[in-house]
């Protein structure tokens, strides 16, 4: 009964349509036949006539006006069944079209459904379940295994594995501990955590993503705008064409049939429906397209520029090699970490982190600390004066064998820190920015996607840039660049190419805005990147760039298929009408069928590269392994 009540209108006009078909075959001139067909025309066509009238008030000649003219003309010449059939088929097509279009936007509804509705607030050791809209920043909430994290916050107690796939597309759960940031709607796999709320409501990451997807699905691409302009002039042309046909043949039936079959419905919808489905698919993989333009531009790219630090590399310097001279390695690392504890330089943090990983006690404090900007740090520990930094910090010549070892380390892309006392060099620390695991595979796969050249742009030194680009197989690199230099280099390639720039943060903003298409990596924690780039990869996994390019090309191909099919159908019907093989109702049936075919073709994009049963089994095994590792830790 509920279904019948919901679909009462379409059921009623369907019954009237079947009755009209029967009566048209029995006796079309019978008064009952005329009443039934007239009722069907009025019921099914009321919203069409109303829309046509509204369009005329704003001097718009649209599809509804074409159908209205055709229906009125059919009534005038006494063909009531054609009038009834055309209005019914047009309305039925609209209903099916509306339901099908809702499927193309299903990805957005999935995101909205991710929002939890309640949170467990801790107040003076008491747990209270509150509605999400009552949460405030600074509230302390408790999340248990299997629950969704209610909102964005920072962990203040506990260490857990969190499944962020619904937001980042990453299949592997992420390990998080105290002081790590967590995001609302992600799923707690194991353990429990207490979180201090940092953002609520529309400020949360999920709300911003939903807002961006909504805007992207409504943002029109160049092709879509062109099709709308085309339709604006095409529709009046159809009216003029029908008038000319009537003038030449004096056949009103032929003229009004031409009005119906030449409706550009499938053509108008052919591009937006593909973009909406493509954007929805990408959102489920943790890839945000800012609109149809973003998809078009990314699909055209043939040169990809990469920022280095934080994009191809982890963006976190790591101590990878220590050389000591007449000393114990851990002892030297301890002294270096104690001295560097007064510095916030990323290279200093790499040394401190390495000492902590080896459980070396670095609680002691140095004395007489002196920061040398651009050189390093000088300090005293246990009454011995030490220096750690670059060559400019030394007050004596570097012995030739050590100089050779420094050159060897730097040739491998390391930044070398030299540690010394007042008389001699005590050791060398080789620090490098680790390459992301996905970077090597990505560069190789880009070639298969038709990218003819990959170029790295970095502010780092030439030897480091050479090492990274050689390791990754990047075609070319530019080193020692300022942000404006990166933008100038990208611009110099615009004449014969379509450029893509991939970066990760605020220092890349100028380059991101200069390239024809821009992609930001790791947008989950980087608002500037999300605002500036055309495409945002929500996780740190740069391998998703391949998915983004594949989806953009797939959407472009789908759009071309829709446009070609729509034009072919219109051409086929026009030829059929000219040779008197297509009636008005048959023309409307084929027309509406073509609209549905276009939508169904676009819906295929929602299932593109979704992963099969094997992927699910593999992911389940990975989850079990991760949980096991966590328990062991």
Question: SS3 string of 103-159?
Answer: HHCHHHHHHHHCCCCEEEEEECCEEEEEEHHHCCCCCEEEECCCCECCCEEEEEECC
Contacts of 354 (CB under 8 A, 6+ apart): 318, 319, 333, 337
- Nearest-CA neighbor of 278 among 229, 226, 221? 221
Provide the 8-state DSSP code for 508.
G
User: What's the length of the chain?
Assistant: 633
CB 185 within 8 A of CB 167: yes
Active site residue 163: no
- Nearest-CA neighbor of 209 among 154, 307, 133, 286? 286
Supply φ then ψ for residue 345, to 5 degrees. -65, 140
Q: Give the residue carrying structure tokens 């990274």.
A: 468
Supply φ then ψ for residue 25, to 5 degrees. -80, -30
Distances from the Cα of 144 to the Cαs of 1, 89, 161, in angstroms?
Answer: 41, 54, 12
Rounded Cα gap, residues 74 and 238, in angstroms: 17
Among 307, 433, 504, 508, the one annotated catalytic: 307
Q: What is the three-class DSSP state of 399?
A: coil
- Nearest-CA neighbor of 104 among 521, 562, 446? 562
Contacts of 285 (CB under 8 A, 6+ apart): 169, 544, 547, 551, 609
- Nearest-CA neighbor of 524 among 163, 96, 209, 172? 209
Q: Give the residue carrying structure tokens 């990208």.
A: 490
Residues recognised as catalytic: 307
């Amino acid at each position: 009964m509920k279904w019948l009540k919901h679909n009462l209108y379409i059921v009623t006009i369907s019954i009237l349509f079947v009755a009209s078909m029967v009566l048209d075959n029995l006796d079309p001139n019978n008064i009952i036949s005329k009443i039934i067909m007239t009722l069907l025309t009025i019921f099914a066509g009321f919203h069409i006539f109303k829309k046509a009238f509204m369009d005329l008030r704003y001097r718009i000649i649209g599809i509804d006006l074409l159908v209205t003219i055709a229906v009125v003309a059919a009534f005038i010449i006494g063909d009531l069944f054609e009038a009834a059939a055309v209005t019914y088929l047009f309305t039925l097509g609209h209903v099916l079209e509306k339901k099908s279009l809702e499927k193309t936007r299903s990805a957005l509804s999935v995101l909205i459904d991710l929002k939890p509705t309640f949170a467990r607030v801790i107040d003076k050791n008491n747990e209270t379940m509150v509605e999400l809209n009552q949460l405030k920043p600074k509230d302390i909430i408790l999340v248990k295994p299997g629950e969704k994290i209610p909102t964005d916050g920072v962990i203040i107690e506990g260490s857990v594995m969190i499944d962020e796939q619904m937001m980042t597309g990453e299949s592997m759960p992420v390990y998080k501990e105290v002081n790590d940031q967590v995001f609302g709607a992600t799923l707690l796999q194991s353990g429990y955590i207490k979180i201090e709320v940092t953002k609520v409501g529309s400020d949360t990451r999920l709300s911003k993503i939903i807002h961006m997807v909504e805007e992207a699905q409504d943002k029109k691409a160049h092709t879509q705008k062109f099709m709308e302009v085309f339709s604006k002039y095409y529709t009046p042309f159809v009216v003029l064409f029908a008038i000319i046909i009537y003038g030449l043949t004096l056949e009103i039936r032929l003229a009004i049939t031409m009005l119906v079959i030449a409706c550009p419905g499938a053509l108008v919808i052919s591009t937006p429906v593909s973009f909406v489905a493509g954007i929805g698919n990408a959102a489920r993989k943790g890839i945000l397209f800012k609109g149809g333009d973003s998809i078009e531009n990314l699909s055209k790219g043939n040169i990809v520029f990469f920022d280095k630090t934080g994009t191809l590399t982890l963006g976190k310097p790591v101590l990878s090699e220590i050389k000591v001279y007449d000393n114990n390695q851990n002892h030297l690392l301890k002294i270096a970490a104690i001295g560097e504890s007064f510095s916030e330089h990323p290279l200093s943090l790499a040394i401190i982190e390495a000492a902590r990983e080896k459980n070396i006690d670095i609680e002691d404090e140095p004395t007489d600390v002196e920061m040398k900007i651009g050189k390093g740090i000088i300090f005293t520990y246990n009454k011995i004066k030490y220096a750690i930094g670059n060559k400019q910090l030394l007050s004596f010549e570097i012995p030739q064998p050590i100089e050779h070892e420094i050159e060897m380390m730097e040739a491998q892309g390391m930044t070398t820190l030299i540690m010394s006392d007042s008389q001699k060099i005590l050791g060398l620390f080789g620090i490098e920015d680790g390459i992301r695991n996905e970077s090597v595979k990505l560069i190789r796969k880009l070639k298969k996607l038709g990218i003819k050249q990959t170029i790295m742009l970095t502010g780092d030194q030439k030897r480091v840039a050479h090492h990274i680009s050689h390791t990754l197989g990047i075609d070319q690199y530019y080193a020692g660049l300022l942000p404006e230099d990166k933008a100038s280099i990208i611009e110099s390639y615009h004449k014969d190419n379509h450029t893509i720039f991939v970066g990760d943060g605020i220092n890349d903003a100028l380059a991101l805005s200069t390239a024809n298409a821009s992609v930001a990596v790791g947008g989950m924690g980087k608002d500037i990147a999300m605002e500036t780039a055309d495409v945002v990869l929500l996780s740190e996994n740069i391998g998703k760039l391949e998915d983004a390019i594949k989806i953009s090309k797939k959407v472009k191909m789908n759009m071309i298929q829709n446009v070609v099919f729509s034009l072919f159908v219109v051409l086929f019907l026009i030829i059929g009408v000219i040779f008197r093989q297509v009636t008005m109702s048959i023309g409307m049936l084929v027309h509406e069928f073509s609209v549905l075919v276009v939508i169904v073709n676009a819906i295929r994009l929602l299932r593109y590269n979704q992963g099969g049963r094997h992927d699910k089994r593999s992911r389940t095994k990975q989850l079990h392994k991760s949980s096991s590792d966590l328990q062991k830790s």
